[in-house]
Structure 1
C-alpha cells in the first residue's frame, strides 16, 4: 500500500508506526522481541536518558555495535532529540576511531563492551584519553570500567526530572543534521558524509514501495546496519509494518534454518554472503525446503550472472541489484517486476527521487550507451562532507550533479550499466579492460572467497594486471591453474592477470566491498621488482 503522505522525520515515522501497527512485532533477534508500540516507548525513554546526560540537539553520538536491539533503539532515540547519529563499523580500531570521533567532536559512544573476541570498552577508553570532547562511554554489554554507563539501565525506567516537553524542545527540523556516515575509504582517507531528515527519510520510504515491502515481510540484513545499504531498512520496516530480524554475528551454516524458522522474505546481502550461502548449500547438501524468500537485494560490486541464476534456481527467489553510495544512498536498483537478467546486466533504474546522467572527462553529457562517469542528482543526495568544504566543492560539477567516480552507461530504457571504478580500468599496451570482468569470473570459482584485480605499472606496456585472491578453507590454487581457468572462461589473453597473489584475507569495508587502496600500493612495488 502506497501512503499518500510520507513522514519527514524519524520521530514522526515512529509515532505513525506505533499508531498503525501497535502490538505487531517490529524487531526480533531470535531471543528478544519488540512490538511497534514498545519501540516507540523505549526509544523515547532512551532519548530522555541521553538528554539527562547533557546531550543536546546537534551533538554527535556514535555507536560501534553489531546489528542489534541496542543499535536500533539508539538510532531512533538520537533522532527524537536532534542528535547526529554516527554508526561505526565494529572492525574499526584505535587509528580509525581516534580520527572519526575527533573529526566529529563526538560527545558519546555506545560499544559492545568486552566480548570473547575483543574488548570494545577498553578501546573506547584508550581513544577517550586523546579526545577531550568524548564525555561518555556507554556499553551494550557488561561494564568493567567504573565510568561506563550500562545501556540496559536506560530501558528500565524514565530518568527523574526529564519530561516529554524537554524532548519536544529538542525536536530536529527537516534540515538539521541527523546522520554522519564515513565513506568506505576504499581509495583514501574516509570523509564524513552529512545527511539531514530531508535527504534521508522520505526518499528511503519511497524506495520501500519500490521493493514492495509490506506487513507480510520479514526483513533480514546480512550487511551491517552501520552501512548505508542496510541502515534505511530500519525506517522502511517501521513504515511498512514489516518484521525486522536483527542478525548480529554472521555464520553461514545457520542461515537456512533462520530463513525457514523466521519466514524471512526480504534479504539484504553482499555478493560474498550469497556466494557463501550457495557454496554451503552445495557442499553440505543442505535443503532449502521451507525457505520463503521473495526478494534478495544485493550490490556493492559487480554481480556475477551465474550467482543470480543459482539463487533463483536454489532458493526460488527474485534477485535485485542495487547501486549506491553513502553520499547518494540507494541511487539505483532493479525492481521485482524487472526481467531477471537486469540484475546481472545492469544496476537498475534510478531511484524515484533521483536523476542520473553520464558525463565525460570535461563534464559533457554523453548519449545513451556511451561509457563515462555516473553523475547523480536528487533528494537523497548528501548535504556536505562534514568540515571539509574543499572536498564538498570538488565532488560536484557546475550543474549540481555529484560525480561518483563510477563508470557506466545509460540505455534508452533508463537502465544503468556499471563498468567499474575509474581506477579499475586497466590499460595494457593500449588494450583496456575493467577489473570487474576478471573479478566476477574468479568469484564464481568454488575455491574462491574474495578476489580483487588491480593494475601493476609496467615500463613497456604501461600496466599489467594483478589478481589478489583469498581461498575458502582447505583450498589450493596455483598461478597456472588460475590462468587456465580464466582462459577456459573465454577471456582474451591480454586480460589474464600476469601476477597472482594469494592472501588469507583481503581488506574489506563493512559491506564486504574490497578496499583496493592497500592492494594498489602493494601492486606498485610489484612493478618495480
Structure 2
C-alpha cells in the first residue's frame, strides 16, 4: 500500500522546530514503560457479558506481542501492509496493535457494529491483507460474516478469528507458544521495518457527507502531539488508572484509553461493552481516576451511582465529548460522582482539539466545549472568510500539530487550505477568552451518542426502495443520546411504506443497525426551495419544537 499522507510534509519542519511533534512512536513509549516497571500491572481486560477478566503486566504484553508479531510475519505481513481489526476493547486488541507496530503494519480499527456494507467498502478501499474478527460478539456471528466477505475482497489474504477453534483462530496463528522460537530472528526485521513517527500507523474510517466513508491517515506524531498536550491540560500521569468503555475502534477509545496510558506508563482498564453497574463497580474496585466517554455514558454512570451508592472517591475526571452536556446533568454528576465533569470537542481527523481545564468553573463545561490545546489553533469564520467577532457564529476551522495526514486516495476531500486550516464542517462561536461552543453542523451528519450517522449513504439506500419518491433524514433531540435520526418520506403514488418495512429493507441492504432511522414520518411533500432542494432545517426545526413542547 502506498499512503498519500500529503498533509504531513508541509508542516514537518515547523512542528519539529516548535517542539510540537514528539518524534516518538508507540513502541518508544511502550518500551520506556516496560523498562521502568516490567512487572507492574498495565492492563485489566473485562468481558462484560461474563465478568471474565485478564490482568497483564508490561512484560506480558511485550512477550505476547512479540509472539503475535512472529505469527503475522509468517503470514507474510510486513511494513505498510494493512491489518483491519474488528475486535472490541480487549487484551487481544492491545497485543495485536503492539505487534503490528513491531513490523510497521498499518492498523485499521473498524467498529464491531459494522456489517457487510460498511466493511466491504472499508477493507477494499484500504486494501486490507488481514482481517481480525471475534468469533461472536453480542450475539452476532462475525466469523461467518468475514467468510462471506472474502470473495469481494481481492487483497484479503487472511481472516483471523479471536475465540475461534479452527486453524485460522487467533490462538493458533498468533498465540501459539511455538512462535516464541522465532522472536530472536525477527529482531533485525523489526528494527528495520517499525518505521518512525512520521510513518502512517493508523487508518481509521469516518462517516461524512460524501456518500462513502473516508480513510483518515494518522502518524505517531499527529496522535502523540495531541496526547502530550491533552495529558498536560488534565494533569494526568503514571499514577492514573484509565477506564475505557468507548470502543477502541473510535479515536476516543484508541487514543485516550490505549495510546495515552501507554505514553504515561499508566494502567488501563478496558470494558468490551458498556454496562453502567459494572462500570461503577470497576471504578470503585480498581481505583479508577479518569475516564472519557460521550454524554449517555455520564448519564448512565450517574444513575448507577445514585441507585447503588458505589464509591467514586478515586474518580477525578470524567471528560465528555461528542455532544453538549446538559447543565442539570453536569450538576447531578458532579454531586454524585464527586469528580470534575469536563467537556471537549474534537474529530477523528484531529483528536481532541478543545478541552475545558480542571481549574475552570463548572459553568465552562455547561456552556462551552473548551479552549484549544497547545499546538492547535481554532478560528471561527464569518461568511466572507474573515475571523468572526467574539460571540458570533461561523464556520469552525482548525490547524496545528494533531491534524491528520489526509484522506487515503481522496486528497480532493482533505478540506485543508494552503495555510493549513482544516474545514471541520461545524458551526461554532468563540468568546473573548478563546472558549468555543459547537452550535451545529454545516455538514449533513447526525451524531447519535457520539456515533456519526452517514446520512447521505442511508438516504441513497432508501431511494432504492420502490415506494420511496423522496426522503430526507434529519436529527431530532434525545435526552440520552443527544440526537436520533428521523426519516421523512414521500411515498410514490399508489404505494405505501411503514417503519417495519423501512427497517426490514435497510437490514436487507446489510447496513449497520445503529445507522437505521429510529423514527419515520410520512408526508405528501417536503419543504423545498424554489430550485427543489429539500429544506432540512425546516424539518429539524419542526422536530425540535415538538421536543421542546413535550419538555414543557
TM-score (norm 2): 0.76
The 2-side partners of 1:265 and 1:241 are apart by 14
The 1-side partners of 2:78 and 2:365 are apart by 44
The 2-side partners of 1:346 and 1:212 are apart by 20
CA contact under 8 A between 1:424 and 1:454: conserved in structure 2?
A: no
In structure 2, stretches of 5+ residues that fail to align are 1-18, 47-52, 446-473, 489-525
Q: Which moved more, 1:350-359 or 1:3-12?
A: 3-12
2:428 alignment counterpart = 408
1:417 alignment counterpart = 437
CA contact under 8 A between 2:295 and 2:323: conserved in structure 1?
A: yes
2:197 alignment counterpart = 174
174 and 454 in structure 1: CA distance in 2 versus 1, 3 angstrom threshold: same
SS state at 1:406 partner: strand
151 and 375 in structure 1: CA distance in 2 versus 1, 3 angstrom threshold: farther
Aligned counterpart in structure 2 of residue 100 of structure 1, from 95, 107, 122: 122
The 1-side partners of 2:286 and 2:355 are apart by 26
1:458 alignment counterpart = 527
310 and 29 in structure 1: CA distance in 2 versus 1, 3 angstrom threshold: same
1:239 shift after superposition: 2.2
Q: How does 1:89-238 map to 2 (within 5 A)?
A: 89-115=111-137, 117-144=139-166, 146-150=167-171, 153-154=174-175, 156-161=177-182, 162-185=185-208, 188-233=211-256, 234-238=258-262
Q: Cα RMSD between the aligned structures?
A: 2.9
Q: How does 1:462-477 map to 2 (within 5 A)?
A: 463-465=538-540
The 2-side partners of 1:46 and 1:263 are apart by 31
Is 1:271 matched up with 2:295?
A: yes
2:331 alignment counterpart = 309
The 1-side partners of 2:485 and 2:116 are apart by 29
Is 1:16 matched up with 2:32?
A: yes
The 2-side partners of 1:294 and 1:467 are apart by 40
- What are the Cα deviations for residues 168-213 of structure 1, in whole angstroms up to 9, with x where unaligned? 1212123221111101347742100011122122331332222222
- What are the Cα deviations for residues 226-255 of structure 1, in whole angstroms up to 9, with x where unaligned? 101121121221222211001112222322
245 and 49 in structure 1: CA distance in 2 versus 1, 3 angstrom threshold: same
CA contact under 8 A between 1:454 and 1:466: conserved in structure 2?
A: no
SS state at 2:121 partner: helix
TM-score (norm 1): 0.79
1:32 shift after superposition: 1.4
CA contact under 8 A between 2:68 and 2:174: conserved in structure 1?
A: no
The 1-side partners of 2:242 and 2:385 are apart by 40
The 2-side partners of 1:468 and 1:77 are apart by 48
CA contact under 8 A between 1:139 and 1:149: conserved in structure 2?
A: yes
1:149 shift after superposition: 4.8
- What are the Cα deviations for residues 319-351 of structure 1, in whole angstroms up to 9, with x where unaligned? 111111111111111121111111121111112
Aligned pair count reads 454
CA contact under 8 A between 2:319 and 2:341: conserved in structure 1?
A: yes
CA contact under 8 A between 1:61 and 1:107: conserved in structure 2?
A: yes
SS state at 1:14 partner: helix
1:383 alignment counterpart = 405
455 and 362 in structure 1: CA distance in 2 versus 1, 3 angstrom threshold: farther
1:515 alignment counterpart = none
Q: Which runs of 4+ in 1 moved over 4 A?
A: 3-7, 146-149, 453-457, 459-462, 466-469
1:483 shift after superposition: 5.2
CA contact under 8 A between 2:399 and 2:420: conserved in structure 1?
A: yes
